[in-house]
Amino acid sequence: MFYLPTRIIFGENALREAAPHLAFGKRALIVSGRSSAVKSGVLGDLIPILNELNIEHKIFAQILENPLTSQIIAGKEFLLEHGCDFIIAIGGGSPLDAAKAIAIAAANDLSEDELYQLDLHKKSYPIVAIPTTHGTGSEVTQYSVLTHTKTNKKAGFGSDLNFPRLAIVDPRYMTSLSPKVSLHTALDALSHLLEGLYSLSRNKHLYPMIHRGVRLIVDNLSLCLKEPNHLPAREALALASLYGGITIAHTGTTLQHAIGYPFTSAFDTPHGLANAMFMKEMMEFNQPNIPQLIDELFKAINMSKEEFYNWLESFPIQIKVEISDDEEERWMDEILGARNIAASPRVPTRDELRALIHTVKKGV
């Protein structure tokens, strides 16, 4: 089964190419982070196009990394106050995910506590997504990942209403990324691709895309870190990220994502790094259930598993953090209760999960 109701326009100057498909309304709410819409160059390209199309716009550039539910309510009020009739989301996964939730909250008049209640999601506003990172693939997914202001718990919700109507992916908008965000977001994309194999909802029609995506990241990540303006390398990472998004739109994410969330909530560990620090352990953990799929992956990318691990470990992803025993117990409850666990081929026992967490715990 394939379902992807998003028109995708990919490549250099994609925004210009997308102009004939952009008029979803008369007044756009532009949702972005504090700096990325400007730094990436998207806003400079977008405003003249909106003017040509006689589309008014209002800018809500207040989304922080790992968006809080309170920011969603502020965005909802801003949208309603200014009478916007569609959303253009610009940035990394944080503004893209926030835009989806703002659209749902505004269309259904939801409060902060009602955001996760899918039965209340009856309609939404059209969303155009313009990613400026190559990580989440949120431009082609139905997920919105938020941190609840009251509980500080990070969790996602998925709804078909969340799919952007249009995704505009131009690698030029990613050349301004810092080396750290470049690395972390590419590793998030890598995680999505691998989780497409791990997931119980795996779909063999996606395997060629997954293999290609992994190969693109292996071949281009170091080059991109050395030469941030290397456009073919950026384009490769942008494509891999898009493939990762298409993958998880079908398969969901797994324990690999669930295990990273408490680290992001507690220490602001960037999302991609939180995935990467468990990537090798997760592959070892899942391999006994899917040995053939792992073999096929490494055959397809013409690399051994050991070579892949050596490549992975050539990046600064080994971190150790202080975790109290109380925290560890609470996190295990949170991880084992996460929505993503349902798609995991192997659910860890508490002892197995503790052992996984101990791989990054200081003093163990």
Residues forming contacts to ligand NAP in the complex (CB under 6 A) are 33-36, 39-40, 65-66, 91-95, 97, 132-133, 135-138, 141, 143, 145, 173-174, 176-177, 181, 185, 188, 248, 271-272
CB of 295 to ligand NAP, least distance (A): 27
For 215-239, b/e burial (b = at least 16 CB within 10 A) is bbbbebbeebbeebebeebbbbbbb
121 makes contact, choosing from ligand NAP, Fe ion, none, with CB < 5 to 8 Å by partner type, with: none
140 makes contact, choosing from Fe ion, ligand NAP, none, with CB < 5 to 8 Å by partner type, with: none
Task: Between 95 and 110, name the residue whose CB sits nearer to Fe ion.
Answer: 95
Angstrom distance (rounded) from CA 8 to CA 14? 9
Q: In what order do the strands lie in the sheet with 166-169?
A: 7-10, 166-169, 127-131, 86-91, 27-33, 56-63
CB of 255 to ligand NAP, least distance (A): 14
3-state SS class at 152: coil
75 makes contact, choosing from ligand NAP, Fe ion, none, with CB < 5 to 8 Å by partner type, with: none
For Fe ion, the binding residues (CB under 5 A) are: 188
Task: Between 64 and 200, name the residue whose CB sits nearer to ligand NAP.
Answer: 64
269 makes contact, choosing from ligand NAP, Fe ion, none, with CB < 5 to 8 Å by partner type, with: none
Task: Between 97 and 188, name the residue whose CB sits nearer to Fe ion.
Answer: 188
265 makes contact, choosing from Fe ion, ligand NAP, none, with CB < 5 to 8 Å by partner type, with: none
CB of 106 to ligand NAP, least distance (A): 18
CA proximity to 98, closest of 157, 50, 146: 146
Angstrom distance (rounded) from CA 22 to CA 300? 38
The answer to whether the beta carbons of residues 28 and 88 sit under 8 Å apart is: yes
Task: Between 6 and 36, name the residue whose CB sits nearer to ligand NAP.
Answer: 36
Query: In sequence order, what are the beta bridge partners of 144?
Result: 157
The answer to whether the beta carbons of residues 347 and 341 sit under 8 Å apart is: yes
CB of 230 to ligand NAP, least distance (A): 15
For the CA atoms of 268, 271, 277, 279, what is the dihedral angle to 10 degrees? Answer: 160
CB of 192 to Fe ion, least distance (A): 6
Angstrom distance (rounded) from CA 81 to CA 78? 5
CB of 187 to ligand NAP, least distance (A): 10
Task: Between 100 and 211, name the residue whose CB sits nearer to ligand NAP.
Answer: 100
Residue 82: count other Cβ atoms within 10 Å of its Cβ: 14
145 makes contact, choosing from Fe ion, ligand NAP, none, with CB < 5 to 8 Å by partner type, with: ligand NAP
Angstrom distance (rounded) from CA 70 to CA 9? 32
Task: Between 188 and 334, name the residue whose CB sits nearer to Fe ion.
Answer: 188
Task: Between 36 and 286, name the residue whose CB sits nearer to ligand NAP.
Answer: 36
CB of 208 to ligand NAP, least distance (A): 21
Task: Between 67 and 76, name the residue whose CB sits nearer to Fe ion.
Answer: 67
141 makes contact, choosing from Fe ion, ligand NAP, none, with CB < 5 to 8 Å by partner type, with: ligand NAP
The answer to whether the beta carbons of residues 308 and 218 sit under 8 Å apart is: yes
CB of 363 to ligand NAP, least distance (A): 28
DSSP string for residues in 25-39: -SEEEEEEESSHHHH
φ, ψ dihedrals at 224, nearest 5° = -65, -35
28 makes contact, choosing from Fe ion, ligand NAP, none, with CB < 5 to 8 Å by partner type, with: none
Angstrom distance (rounded) from CA 134 to CA 139? 10
